[in-house]
Structure 1
Amino acid sequence: MASTSTLAVCSPLPEIPTPIPPQHVRLVVWRHGSNMLALDLPVEFVYSVVNLKPLKYLAYAAWSICGQWGELRDGQGKEVDMDQLSLYEFWSYQYFTPQDVPFTKTVNHALTKQHTKVGTSHGPKHSSVWATQVKDRDGGCIFTGVTPPGPSIVADFVENIKTHEVGDLSDINDIRNGITLSSSLCTEYDAHKFAILPIPNDILSAVEMKEADPNHPRERRRVALFPTTGQRRLQRTAYILHWMNPWKFESEAWRENMDDMVTHCAQAGFVQQVEGSLPHQGLLHYRYGTSLIINFMNATVSRGWDLLQKKRDHDEPPEEEEGPPAQISYSSAREEKALVIQSWFDSLHEVSKSFRKVEEWRNMAQT
């Protein structure tokens, strides 16, 4: 059944000379004047992550990038039937919000290139207590069951994310600011080859999402390890791993290689399942949107948006903290080798002052 919209009239998309690739749909997440941010999503990828209602996933994809509530419309600005079960190649959709979304209300994916590792002096400092708490909660890699000291702890933190609600996360050492991943998965996560989707969220419910193939060898092995690791999947919520990079390159062999590591759509398992201590969903939504941009953005169509990104980075480069390197205590020499603290969002608060340039960017967007 079609939505009953209370939003203003949505204008059609301007003519875009860059064609949509075969077996893809185009999703325009943001536009201002002639500038826009557009994703070309493989239809097969969308079907690989949703059971029902693929258009709801498109709405989530846009929301994860903008963080603004809106509606999915077609290329002509008309309402769409969000309950429809089919997705057609070469179709265009746009995410329409009640008010214009400022440029700064889109994910700044360039900032995720900022890394904070043990022994560097960049960004806020993590404590050894924080590392222990995260590992105790997770009991090992949340998607493979590999136990410490093998996993790395991956920390995402920002003092001032403008796209999603993270106001309740005010400390870099908050347990919700970390997840435990195997060393190999940590590398893939760093490269945005996969992202983690928390459900339920404001748009998607658990029943609408695909589950991992229970007969996949990796999934069977993982379940068999549950009695040993003490991990269990969550009951009311889920953190789902979505491989993106293999669909970017449309390689069946690459997908098989990724699945040999972790099954597509695997759900995270935790030892301690206290709701208030689980990974922060707002950070993961932000990260999910960033991964979509890196894997599926049409660089030609999104050239104006990308130029604004580069200008933001040039005007307000992240500042380095002064002082000695962060010190983390380890229980063994082996753990010191295996444990790496990585923070993609440590430096985001350093560039938050760039938001005062919004008007300058918007003026540039109109020229």
Structure 2
Amino acid sequence: MSSLSHSGSESVIMSSPSHTVSATVSVPEGQVALVLLREGDSSFYLRIPLSIINSLCLKPRKYLLFLGWCILGSEGVLALEHDGFAINTEEDLDDQGIYHYVPTRPLDLVHVVDLEVIKTWTSMLSETSWTCDSFRNKLLERDVRCLWTGLVNYGAGLHIIPYKRGSEWFRLIVENRPKYGEDVTTLKDIDDIRNGIYANHFIREAFDFRRIAILKTPNHILNPEDIPPGHDRDVYADVSYPASGRYTLQWLEAPDPSQEILTLVPNNRDATFKNNTEKPCEKPKPSDLLLQYNYGAAAVKRWGHGTEVLKNHTSPPRPSMPIHPPIRPSKSFTAGAGTGESEGQAAWDEDDVVLFFWANTQAARERRLKKVEENTQRMEQWRRGVHQDSV
């Protein structure tokens, strides 16, 4: 982790002199820190401007709780210590405050997904398919027009989980997260309509760079009334706001107020969908689970620091060079100001971080144990069959 400033205007957690790895969490004025994982003197955390939090949620502490839940994939509480008790989430945040997301069940971080192998495989995919007419047309049948601007032209189909990640990555996301009542049994392909939204090109670009994210409420943490009002525009006759909840477009990195994009897409604007799409026979709306994943990944990209603590759990080690050379260059993002990557070791991006946590949830462990048990039973049946044939 790169060195951080320790001026008197910052709240800090200092590492012990007996340790060589710094776990300093620095919090400048006007910001707060959310520690998601702390081991010894190492911390993985978010550092977020209070102005951004207050613009996105009317209950700032609940918003931190929501971020922890999205990123770690496990239920927990908000506390003032990494092993502390829950605090009241109805109150405001303290400037330069350091908060901790404490999972209800302790994390058992055994790295079971070889992220780099999956990334190497998906890097050989063709260019991103947001230009694909078939995907765009499928989304237009459901959405009719851009969900947030009402425009039909100058739009594209965007993928909630980036297309470049591929269906293998996509299935790992779906399989390893508690579903909270959502039926995702048939959610297997990255081009599924539930992984897509029709949106204006300006929105798609900001979404791809994770400057904006889509907050679906209600969810396990936040209710629709916890978010600033978003029904602030006249809508076309063929669309309406859904009765099942809000799909709120939020700026995690606010653009310059002078930019026209804010006039077209103001913060906290709610989506509209084609009329009568609440019927079971209609095309399904974007998946809650996938939106939660994307929101967590966007938060990591915008505000994440200290990913090196996560790599202490990687086993087997990630390869320093791709197994197969990629057909086209792939982008990588290092969360936070610096992660102390050694030369030849690939940087973790925000998708790596969130899948790393989701692959170690209680639901993921239970799923793996079930598969091991099923494989054991199949092997036993095979052995019995071989023994009978040999008699």
Partners of 2:196 and 2:286 within 8 A in 1: yes
Return the offset for 1:99: 1.8
Q: Which amino acid aligns with 2:227?
A: M
Q: Calculate the TM-score normalised by the size of structure 2.
A: 0.63
Q: Check conservation: 1:29, 1:62, Cα contact below 8 A.
A: yes
Contact 2:111 2:313 in 1 (8 A): no
Higher-Rg structure is 2
**8 Å contact 2:62–2:90 — kept in the other structure?**
no
Equivalent residue for 1:155, pick from 135, 159, 183: 159
- Hey, what does 1:243 align to over in structure 2? 251
2:56 matched to 1:44? no
Q: Which whole-Å deviations, capped at 9, do the CAs of 1:159-191 have from their partners, x for residues lacking one?
A: 111345455412334321210111121111111
Matched, 1:226 2:236: yes
Following the alignment from structure 1 to structure 2, what is the Cα–Cα distance between the partners of residues 145 and 43? 31
SS at match of 1:141: coil
Q: Say whether the 8 Å CA contact 1:70–1:96 is kept in structure 2.
A: yes
* Equivalent of 2:139 in 134, 156, 172: 134
Deviation larger for 90-99 or 188-197: 90-99
TM-score (norm 1): 0.67
Q: Where do 4+ consecutive residues of structure 1 move more than 6 Å?
A: 111-117, 122-127, 306-309, 318-322
- CA 1:185 to 1:175, structure 2 compared with 1: closer, same or farther past 3 Å? same
The 1:312/1:174 distance shift into structure 2, 3 A limit, reads farther
CA spacing shift, 1:81–1:43, aligned 2, 3 Å: same
Q: Which residue of 2 aligns with 1:81?
A: 87
Deviation at 1:74, TM superposition (A): 0.9
Secondary structure in 2 aligned to 1:19? strand
Question: Residues 136 and 157 of structure 2 are in contact (CA less than 8 Å); yes or no, is this contact kept in structure 1?
Answer: yes
* 1:296 Cα deviation after fit: 0.8
- Residues 291 and 178 from structure 1, CA distance in 2 versus in 1: closer, same or farther, beyond 3 angstroms? same
What displacement does 1:31 show?
A: 3.1
Q: What are structure 1's unaligned runs of at least 5 residues?
A: 1-12, 215-219, 323-346, 357-367
Gaps of 5+ in 2: 1-12, 16-22, 162-169, 328-350, 361-391
Query: Deviation at 1:318?
Result: 8.8
Among 268, 272, 288, the residue aligned to 1:269: 272
Change (3 A) 1:209 1:123: closer
1:179 partner letter: I
Is residue 138–residue 270 contact of structure 1 (8 Å, CA) maintained in 2?
Answer: yes
CA distance in 2, matches of 1:43, 1:296: 12
Please say if residues 33 and 45 of structure 2, whose CA atoms lie closer than 8 Å, have aligned partners that are also in contact.
yes
Q: Structure 2 vs 1, CA of residues 50 and 271 (structure 1 numbering), >3 Å: closer, same or farther?
A: same
Q: Which residue is equivalent to 1:325? A: none
Contact 2:214 2:249 in 1 (8 A): yes
Report if the CA contact (8 A) 2:120-2:322 is conserved. no
Q: Equivalent residue of 2:250, what SS?
A: strand
**Counterparts of residues 24-63 of structure 1 (less than 5 Å):** 24-51=31-58, 53-63=59-69
The offset of 1:133, in angstroms, is 2.5
* Structure with the larger RCO, 1 or 2 (CA within 8 Å, 6+ apart): 1
1:205-224 alignment to 2 at 5 Å? 205-212=223-230, 214=232, 220=233, 223=234
Q: Which amino acid aligns with 2:297?
A: T
Change (3 A) 1:167 1:103: farther
Instruction: Provide closer, same or farther for how the CA distance between residues 133 and 302 of structure 1 changes in structure 2, counting only shifts above 3 A.
Output: closer
Q: Does residue 154 of structure 2 align to residue 144 of structure 1? A: no
Residue 186 (1) aligns with residue 204 (2): yes
